[in-house]
């Protein structure tokens, strides 16, 4: 049996605990490629073979979950000794007319399906039957494995910077593992303890001595590892306590001097028709907007690209709710993820938090709405910034029994109809993922677009995620089908709303 690679952090594992049949916790993309005119191979088989040769570049793709007895602690990753690439890469088929709209419907259907937790948590579907010699790749991976910032490691498998696939060195021979020796664990534990207690009184508080773990998944080992991790976490928290107190003081000063209780009350989301209990079905749509036009608005108004994205999205949501006669007097709010990943960190783990931004949907004029979004976003960033310092101190926290408790709570909440009765935490999620500025290729096919496919939850039936690529922004609208069965209408409104914002800012629509 393969040994434990590492335990999931609390942040990573939370995506497993919150998952229910109605709320799959995986993220994905719908990528569109242009095949070369002279391509004569089988793109599906060729791509699968290429990924197989490069699997060692992203080792997390061969990891599977190992749960603890009774789910009393976070699960761990272990090597899947029965890994079979044919269980993860599939050839997809589209019914006639095999166009982009049909592809989006199929992607919505596939995205609603849970990943098999007995295997590594990812799948790829290749559709090589699109018109105009194009192919599409829909891929999905569980959020417990990876977030947008760690996607660079995944990209190495599929993408190249030229039409000719690069040669990748073969993986190094695996070391033969030997049976765990309890004496080694005890010796390491004694050594680390001696190292800790020989430190001075002041040095001991901030010590970063690595205490060994058994790494096993039996009940006794889990209890031992949890106790050790608890001591490590306590020491880490005490070492960071001055930072926590500083953060609390900083936050208090900002609430008093910069933000008022009125500002906080404005961040409470109003109930809308896009919020409530969601079904297990998904609708999906995609649209592309030019970066140049978005940046021109940002330059003209003295704002940033992300502010313009929020303003255009706000206008689309406002228009939809007006058409339905359901626009609330109070502004909608958006959850905007913020990466806490350090530069160069490509680890397969989640390093993300978020802030709540007002979309000012009650304002009719697009330019005034943009200005209000900028002002409110600045306040939200002020309120959120202290919490970024706290995230590393709690990402590995452990409470025995919490995994099972959180899963039970998620299931009860999913079946209780409470999302239809309680006010939503936020109305929509809007996420901006930076992408490459150069052309990319997969087995000789040129990447044209990479549309994100994301997560919706009970109480939040719409997610708008965009990724930049070359000179454009690719938007993916993921929605609960019972909330927004025709999410394509919202995607089609994006270019129209961009025109309105351009005119309001004194720019001629291009």
From edge to edge, which strands make up the β-sheet containing 63-66?
Answer: 4-7, 76-79, 63-66
Q: Is residue 166 part of a domain?
A: no
- CA terminus-to-terminus distance, the chain: 61
Q: Is residue 176 part of a domain?
A: no
Query: Kindly report the CA angle at 24 between 21 and 25, in degrees rounded to 5?
Result: 145
Q: How many CA atoms lie within 13 A of 100 on its CB side?
A: 13
Q: Is residue 304 part of a domain?
A: yes
* Together in a domain, 271 and 223: no
* Together in a domain, 372 and 419: yes
Q: How many domains does the chain have?
A: 3
Torsion of CA 259, 464, 353, 435, to 10 degrees: -120
Q: Is residue 164 part of a domain?
A: no
Q: Is residue 478 part of a domain?
A: yes
| pLDDT of 190 higher than 50 | no
pLDDT at 197: 45
What does the buried/exposed string (b/e) look like for 159-197 if buried means 16 or more CB atoms within 10 Å of the residue's CB? bbeeeebeeeeeeeeeeeeeeeeeeebeeebeeeeeeee
Q: What is the mean pLDDT of residues 46-66?
A: 91
> Distance (Å, rounded) from C-alpha 225 to C-alpha 216?
9
pLDDT in tens, 276-323: 999 999 999 999 999 999 999 999 999 999 999 999 999 999 999 999
Strand partners, 357: 334
* Together in a domain, 414 and 309: yes
Which residue would you say has higher pLDDT here, 158 or 215? 158
| pLDDT of 83 higher than 60 | yes
* Together in a domain, 274 and 415: yes
* Together in a domain, 284 and 316: yes
| pLDDT of 62 higher than 70 | yes
Q: What is the mean pLDDT of residues 150-177?
A: 76
Domain that residue 150 falls in: 4-158
Q: Is residue 357 part of a domain?
A: yes
Return the CATH number at 58: 3.30.559.10
* Together in a domain, 17 and 69: yes
**What does pLDDT average to over the chain?**
82
Residue 143 exposed, middle or buried by CB count within 10 Å (0-12, 13-18, 19+): buried
Q: Is residue 248 part of a domain?
A: no
pLDDT at 192: 44
Q: Is residue 165 part of a domain?
A: no
Lowest pLDDT segment from 60-74, 89-103, 251-265 = 251-265
Listed residues 124, 158, 192: the one ending a domain: 158
* Together in a domain, 202 and 348: no
* Together in a domain, 32 and 119: yes
Name the percent of the chain lying above pLDDT 70.
72
Which residue would you say has higher pLDDT here, 78 or 350? 78
Q: What is the mean pLDDT of residues 6-15?
A: 84
73: confidence class by pLDDT, cuts 50, 70, 90: confident
pLDDT at 68: 81
pLDDT in tens, 483-492: 999 999 999 9
Return the CATH number at 298: 3.30.559.30
* Together in a domain, 197 and 302: no
Lowest pLDDT segment from 142-151, 342-351, 376-385, 426-435 = 342-351
* Together in a domain, 231 and 355: no
| pLDDT of 347 higher than 60 | no
242: confidence class by pLDDT, cuts 50, 70, 90: low
**Contact yes or no for 331/359 (Cβ under 8 A):** yes
**Contact yes or no for 427/320 (Cβ under 8 A):** no
* Together in a domain, 400 and 347: yes
Block residue for tokens 């939370």: 14
Q: What is the mean pLDDT of residues 34-56?
A: 92
Q: What is the pTM of this model?
A: 0.83
* Together in a domain, 197 and 125: no
Tokens of 340: 């806490």
């Amino acid at each position: 049996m393969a040994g434990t690679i590492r335990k999931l952090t609390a942040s990573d594992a939370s995506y497993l605990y919150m998952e229910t049949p109605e709320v799959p916790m995986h993220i994905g993309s719908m990528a569109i490629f242009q095949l070369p005119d002279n391509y004569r191979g089988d793109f599906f088989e060729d791509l699968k073979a290429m990924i197989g040769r490069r699997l060692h570049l992203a080792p997390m793709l061969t990891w599977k979950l190992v749960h603890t007895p009774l789910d009393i602690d976070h699960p761990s990753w272990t090597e899947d000794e029965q890994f079979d690439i044919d269980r993860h890469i599939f050839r997809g088929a589209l019914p006639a007319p095999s166009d982009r709209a049909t592809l989006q419907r199929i992607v919505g259907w596939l995205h609603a399906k849970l990943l098999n937790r007995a295997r590594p948590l990812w799948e790829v579907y290749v559709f090589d039957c699109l018109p105009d010699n194009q192919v599409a790749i829909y891929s999905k991976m569980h959020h417990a494995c990876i977030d947008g910032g760690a996607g660079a490691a995944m990209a190495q498998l599929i993408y190249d910077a030229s039409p000719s696939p690069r040669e990748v060195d073969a993986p190094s021979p695996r070391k033969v593992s030997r049976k765990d020796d309890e004496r080694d664990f005890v010796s390491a534990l004694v050594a680390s303890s001696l190292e800790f207690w020989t430190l001075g009184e002041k040095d001991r508080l901030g010590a970063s001595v690595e205490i060994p773990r058994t790494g096993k998944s039996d009940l006794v080992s889990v209890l031992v590892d949890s106790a050790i991790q608890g001591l490590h976490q306590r020491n880490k928290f005490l070492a960071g306590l001055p930072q926590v107190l500083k953060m609390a003081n900083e936050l208090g000063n900002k609430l008093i001097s910069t933000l008022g209780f009125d500002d906080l009350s404005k961040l409470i989301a109003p109930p809308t028709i896009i919020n409530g209990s969601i079904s297990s079905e998904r609708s999906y749509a995609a649209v592309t907007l030019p970066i140049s036009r978005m940046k021109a608005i940002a330059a003209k108004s003295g704002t940033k690209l992300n502010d313009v994205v929020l303003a255009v999205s706000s206008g689309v949501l406002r228009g939809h709710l007006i058409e339905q006669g359901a626009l609330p007097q109070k502004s909608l709010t958006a959850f905007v993820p913020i990466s806490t990943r350090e530069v160069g960190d490509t680890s397969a783990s989640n390093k993300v938090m978020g802030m709540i931004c007002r979309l000012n949907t009650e304002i009719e004029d697009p330019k005034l709405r943009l200005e209000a979004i900028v002002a409110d976003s600045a306040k939200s960033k002020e309120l959120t910034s202290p919490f970024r310092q706290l995230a590393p101190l709690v990402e590995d926290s452990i409470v025995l029994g919490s995994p099972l408790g959180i899963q039970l709570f998620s299931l009860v909440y999913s079946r209780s109809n409470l999302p239809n009765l309680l006010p939503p935490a936020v109305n929509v999620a809007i996420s901006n993922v930076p992408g490459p500025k150069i052309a990319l290729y997969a087995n000789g096919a040129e990447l044209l677009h990479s549309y994100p496919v994301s997560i919706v939850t009970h109480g939040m039936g719409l997610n708008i995620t965009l990724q930049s690529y070359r000179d454009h922004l690719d938007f993916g609208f993921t929605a609960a089908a019972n909330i927004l069965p025709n999410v394509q209408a919202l995607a089609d409104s994006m270019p129209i709303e961009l025109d309105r914002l351009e005119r309001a800012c004194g720019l001629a629509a291009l």
